[in-house]
Amino acid sequence: MSRWFAGPRAKLTAALVAMLLLVCGGTLGGAAPVLLARLLLGAAALAGLGWWLKRRAHSRPSGFTLAPGLAVLARTALSARSACALIEADGQRFLIVHGDGFAEIALAAPVPTACRRPPTRRLPTSA
């Protein structure tokens, strides 16, 4: 694509000229201009959808994943604006207390393997 056609004004002008040529050509050929405009709009929408799907397929995987070796083991709210979290990073556990404008990190005491239990999933309660 040349540099002249790179700006938004040039693209809009080219699209307007193409639309006028199609409408004029359609009326001279006996086709209804509304039908041609609808077909052009539908073709542009399908082309845009195809481009978006192709771009999305080649992008990075969707969804948030934690870095390897990093896991949130437990979280507890201390008040309306502060909370406490137990984090495991590369085999070490950290206790993080955070809130509005502050965060403190402390090394948590190691827990023997025999005492560890898998985290339980809580079902949401209806209010």
Do the beta carbons of residue 83 and residue 95 sit within 8 Å?
A: no
CA atoms of 56 and 75, how far apart (whole Å)? 34
The tens place of each residue's pLDDT in the chain, 127 residues long, gives: 455 566 777 777 888 888 777 767 766 666 676 777 777 788 888 887 888 888 877 776 666 665 567 888 899 999 999 999 988 887 788 899 999 988 898 877 665 666 566 666 666 666 5
Q: What is d(CA 87, CA 103) in angstroms, rounded to the nearest whole number?
A: 13
Helix, strand, or coil (residue 2): coil
The pLDDT of residue 65: 65
Residue 98, strand partner residues: 83, 103
What pLDDT does residue 82 have? 92
